[in-house]
Chains A and B, each alone.
Chain A
Amino acid sequence: MALRGNLRDFSTTQLLNLIHLARKTGCLTVRTPSEAARLYFRDGKLIHAHTASHDGHLATMLVKAGKLTAEQAQKILTRPEGRNDVQLGMLLIKAGHVSREDIIHSVRHYMLDIVYTLFGWYDGEFEFTPEALPSADRILVPINLEQVILEGSRRLQEHERLQDELPDLDHTALRFTNGADARLRTVNLTVEEWRVISFVSPRNTIRVIAQANNMDDFQVRKIVYGLMQAGIVELVRSSGPPAGAGAPGKPGAEQPPAIKRSLIERLINRIKRI
């Protein structure tokens, strides 16, 4: 099945969330007129990333992390083993230039820089190729997407998009998702995020949470959006006192008529015979 589209319609956050929840394995390619990125995933975890302008070789990553100079990297990349990240890593560790931790740290930061850049792309064709993995000579560092999504959302500065995702603060409340406790143990939350979490209840609208924490609409939207994308909370209609006139929830909405099981069974039997 195709997983193809444009970031205009399905954002980076939503894409990563989908890959994470569906525990997908494969390669996500995103192309804008000026740049392209490839992100590889295994079982819903980010394992490798590179862009058209950053080749994703270990030597380049170590330069970026300040562990090698650009000249050293250039020399390394001209040698055959310089193109094989696994071999190069072992050589550099043996020679005492870097430690194993330095390499993991550099690869991790390189990947995160790319993925966070993607959060700022709002227009670009994307395509997910299932089961496609990086070549065997690459060093793979699995990164849990929950934390990436949360951090990426923190960096998401576009007010309009947040407004689009959470248009109604006055009639919408929050509740914890199934498994929120486990997720809360694995993510690092800011003080502000904990303050919002302490007010999560179907009776508190998001507006009430914002007022209680002295936050403006943008701040509260940003935090709630991040918590939603990390799978910690979800939106519900407020179960608090009925909202004022014209509320979309329409407290007086007509309840469906009482229906009987026999009626539904008659419908089923008839539709089967169409």
Chain B
Amino acid sequence: MQAVKIVVTGPFNAGKTQFIRAVSEIDVVSTESKITDPAERIKDETTVAMDFGRITIEDDLVLYLFGTPGQRRFDFMWEILSEGMLGFIVMVDSARPETFREARYILQVFRSYAPTPYVVAANKQDLSEAWSPEDLRIALKVDPEVKVIPCVATDKEQVKNVLLELLYTILEQLELEETELAEEETER
């Protein structure tokens, strides 16, 4: 049985747990705890170690979705979770600009781990105060070639779309590497 993984990261309350829940075939194994810090009482519980979802691809292949804890005091988990990932998704709460700086920081940290493909999911696009994906791209200083995908993490179809866009990005990168390899061999 081969297992591959995709990591879903982003600031506190960006919607990572919800995202994984939308497509996981098992109840998400969520290591959540009650929030005690009044500043973080936007929701009742938060992920402290990781969320864990699964999609069986075929008998011999399974995809795991790992959600990272959103609070920086648990960032020691990020590097552990990122090892060997196919790619990662940065979830951003489009309606909370106060979290954009944190999202930029997380993006930079994950990019520093390994040159892995990634996409940005502009979550909560159903809220009236949500920033558009185009504005988010500029706010987060996301490179033009990186996809910023509008998303509502409670909507399964939109979550599937984000996952598919990441996988297409991985395919594109593989094709690029294959082309470069072929060119090198031709030169030899």
Contact B135 A3 (CB under 8 A): yes
A270, CB-defined interface residue at 8 Å: yes
Contact B138 A18 (CB under 8 A): yes
B29, CB-defined interface residue at 8 Å: no
Considering only residues 107-135 of chain B, those with a C-beta below 8 Å from chain A are 109, 112-116, 128-132, 134-135
Contact A256 B85 (CB under 8 A): yes
Contact A17 B83 (CB under 8 A): no
Considering only residues 130-182 of chain B, those with a C-beta below 8 Å from chain A are 130-132, 134-135, 138-139, 141, 156, 160, 163-164, 167-168, 170-171, 174-175, 178
B77, CB-defined interface residue at 8 Å: no
- B100 CB contacts on chain A under 8 angstroms: 9-10
Q: A250-B113, A253-B114, A271-B167 are in contact. Are A21 and B98 (CB under 8 A)?
A: no
- B63 CB contacts on chain A under 8 angstroms: 267, 270
Contact A1 B131 (CB under 8 A): yes
Chain B, Cβ-Cβ closest to A8: B98
Interface size counted on chain B using CB atoms at 8 A:
47
Contact A1 B130 (CB under 8 A): yes
Interface size counted on chain A using CB atoms at 8 A:
38
- B130 CB contacts on chain A under 8 angstroms: 1-2
B34, CB-defined interface residue at 8 Å: no
Q: A1-B131, A267-B4, A270-B57 are in contact. Are A9 and B97 (CB under 8 A)?
A: yes
B26, CB-defined interface residue at 8 Å: no
Spell out A's residues near B (CB within 8 Å): 1-6, 8-10, 14, 17-18, 21-22, 164, 234, 237, 248-250, 253-257, 259-261, 263-268, 270-272, 274
